[in-house]
Amino acid sequence: MMNNKITVKPDIAYLEDLLVDVANGSYKIPEFQREFIWKSNQMIQLFDSILRGYPIGSLLFWKAEGVYDTDNEIGPYIINKKTDDFKYILDGFQRISTLFGVLINPKNFDDEKNPKKMSDFLIYFDIEENNFIKTKKNLAVELYKIYDNRELFTYLREMDKSPISENDKNIYIDRLRNLHDTLHKYKVPYVEIKGSDINSAVDIFERVNSAGTRISKDYILSALSYVKSNTNFKLIDSINIFLNTLEQYNFEDLKRDTVLDCISNAKGKIYFDVKNEEELLTEDLESFTNAAYVHITKAVDFLYKKLLVIDIRFLPYPSQLVFISEYFRLNPAPTSEQIQSLENWFWVTTYSNYFTLYSLSQQRTAYKCFRDFIDGKNPNGIYKVNSDMYFNTAKYPDKLNFTGVRPKALQLFYLRSIVGSNDIEEREGIKEFFIYSKKDRKPSNIILRLSSEFEQNREKKQTSSFIETSQYDVLEKHFITHEMVDLYKQNRIDEFLVERENYLKSKEREFVEKLDIRYTE
């Protein structure tokens, strides 16, 4: 229940006043806040919106009843000024860090800045093009020099002496002054919460945020755990570090909530039954979080090496990773036969649309069935509502992409054909080669090449060279027969594509029907 003493006040501040308050320590970053993650293009887009007069979203500040540890770094600068009258930044940290880091003159923080981060917050205004850029060029000036009155005056005086034509000079000066005035007079909406605890603050955030943005579950849990525990363990930072370790598998973009679902399982809470993040709060949050990382890594390694999910984009369902992580938690050293059964479970759940078929109650039953499979009490881990139930594939995909399970399934099947029983390299990637037009993403028009394979055969960079000079056993792995090669050499491309589509379908059908799944074209 929300605290009755809570007050919520929407207001507006000039950007220049906001930055002065930040410099004076009036806004602080709670230790459980997210780290700064914005890229240059996001920072540039923010300033482009300001120049155009577009809204940049409302900020959310919190005047708390309690006191929490804070991080004093905003942008590349260290804010050492202390005041008893301050607010915590709950939402808008990325925007405030960008604005403060880019617009504040480094001379104001000579001894209070992080040199390694200075270049990250260096954005230029291209006077000729009237836009923002990341790389220095002629007639481009650092944004802080435009925002700072003295710096701008100095720059305009130098420009007045330059050999630029008077007409261009007047245009450029107008642009600089316009940007200077726009930045100083820009109004930023914000909402200030007074009172409440962290639970209520999070709830208010989700209700008042204009974009309808939800705080991710790990953010909430990290905030709650930091407040309630006596340790300095921060779940957000912990997950950030862990995701970096998955880069070797191209899984660094694994969804954070999927990681948290695995952590829920490690705690003994079935992930889809967790209604409130506080259910996971215990003194040993750090220990079972670290334990979960072990199982997740085993699951990712299995997906990568055994099933050729060589990029997070190929993963059909996040739930598959959660289930497989649970498998390795309960059976850390499976036999080769058990691994083969787990591979079969993956292919069946992928081609049968398994995780979209069932209601929540049926998902619980499916989960119990999988747990029985881990314990050796179920032969395959596949739940069926009744014994005569048949699974069907979705229809054959019109395009290869990463937006649907069916196209991902076909691409994984393709990779299986290429790799066979060979070992897969770390950080492997995929390169697409088009037989006809790059605008046509039909499966028959695309040849998938492993990055390592391509690097070893650079002379076959061109599609024509690859098709016309490769050995037939190599082409067969790419679903290209010698008859198709003849059609290609005769420039009968349409016939080539028809033959290849039929052949690809026939091979996939053969594989799917061995899984006891009906194939749908």
Which of 35, 43, 179 lies closest to 98, judged by CA? 43
User: Is residue 14 domain-shared with residue 93, that is, in the same domain?
Assistant: yes
Backbone phi, psi, residue 124, to 5°? -110, 155
426 and 281 co-located in one domain: no
Number of Cβ within 10 Å of residue 300's Cβ equals 23
Quick check: 478 and 431 in contact, CB under 8 A?
A: no
- pLDDT for position 212: 46
Q: What pLDDT score does 199 carry? A: 63
> Could you give the CA distance from residue 503 to residue 480 in angstroms, rounded to a whole number?
8
Distance CA 328, CA 493 (A): 47
Tokens coding 442: 């039909």
Q: Domain range spanning residue 448?
A: 405-518
In the prediction, which pLDDT does 198 show? 66
* Residue burial 237-275, b: 16+ Cβ < 10 Å; e: rest: ebbbebbeebeebbbeebebebbbbbbbbbbeebbeebe
Note whether residue 208 is domain-resident.
no
Clarify whether residues 220 and 144 are in a common domain.
no
Model pLDDT, residue 209: 47
Note whether residue 85 is domain-resident: yes
Q: Is 351 inside any structural domain?
A: yes
Sheet holding 124-126, edge to edge: 131-133, 124-126, 140-142
Does residue 397 sit within a domain? no
157 and 54 in a single domain? The answer is yes
Q: Is the dihedral of CA 317, 323, 325, 331 positive or negative?
A: negative
Looking at 328, 362, 389, the residue that finishes a domain is 389
Q: Are residues 234 and 364 in the same domain?
A: yes
Look at the block and give the residue holding tokens 């000039």. 14
Domain count, the chain: 3
166 & 220 share domain? no
Last residue of a domain, one of 362, 389, 416: 389
pLDDT for 429 equals 86
* Beta pairing class for 131-133 and 124-126: antiparallel
308 and 422: one domain?
A: no
Q: Are 50 and 56 in contact (CB under 8 A)?
A: yes
Say how many C-beta atoms besides its own lie within 10 A of residue 178's C-beta: 13
Q: pTM of the predicted model, to two decimals?
A: 0.70
Say how many CA atoms lie within 13 Å of 1 toward its Cβ. 3
Give 479-510 as a DSSP string: T--HHHHHHHHTT-HHHHHHHHHHHHHHHHHH
In a domain? residue 203: no
Q: What is the per-residue burial (b if ≥16 Cβ within 10 Å, else e) of 449-463?
A: bbeebbeeeeebeee
DSSP 128: T
Q: Which residues of the chain have pLDDT under 50?
A: 1-4, 209-213
Do 182 and 78 have their domain in common? yes
Residue owning tokens 């050999």: 163
Query: Which SS3 state, helix, strand or coil, does residue 289 take?
Result: helix
Query: Between vectors from CA 149 to CA 148 and to CA 151, what angle results, nearest 5°?
Result: 65
Provide the 8-state DSSP code for 460: G
Question: Are residue 262 and residue 222 in the same domain, yes or no?
Answer: yes
Q: What is the dihedral of CA 262, 267, 270, 272, to 10 degrees?
A: -60
Instruction: Report the SS3 class of residue 381.
Output: coil
What pLDDT score was predicted for residue 231?
58
Classify each residue of 126-158 as buried b or exposed e, where b means 16 or more C-beta atoms within 10 Å of its C-beta: bbeeeebeeeeeeebbbbbbbbbeebbeebbee
User: 482 vs 232, 421, 448, 459, 463, CA distance in Å?
Assistant: 64, 23, 18, 21, 15
Q: Do 31 and 169 have their domain in common?
A: yes
Instruction: Tell me if residue 427 falls in helix, strand or coil.
Output: coil
Is residue 74 within 8 A of residue 100, CB to CB? The reply is: yes
In a domain, 210, yes or no: no
Closest by Cα among 371, 358, 278 to 323: 371
| Structure-block tokens of residue 214 | 């939800």
**What SS3 state is found at 126?**
strand
Local structure of 30: helix, strand or coil: strand
Residues 156 and 27 occupy one common structural domain: yes
- Cα Rg, the chain, nearest whole Å: 29
- Residue 207 counted as domain residue: no
Q: Which of 389, 418, 450 is the last residue of a domain?
A: 389
Strand ordering across the sheet containing 27-30:
7-14, 187-194, 59-63, 87-91, 27-30, 70-71
200 in a structural domain: no
Q: Are 428 and 452 in contact (CB under 8 A)?
A: yes
Written as six digits, the tokens of 291 are 């334990």
My answer on whether 126 and 235 are in the same domain is no
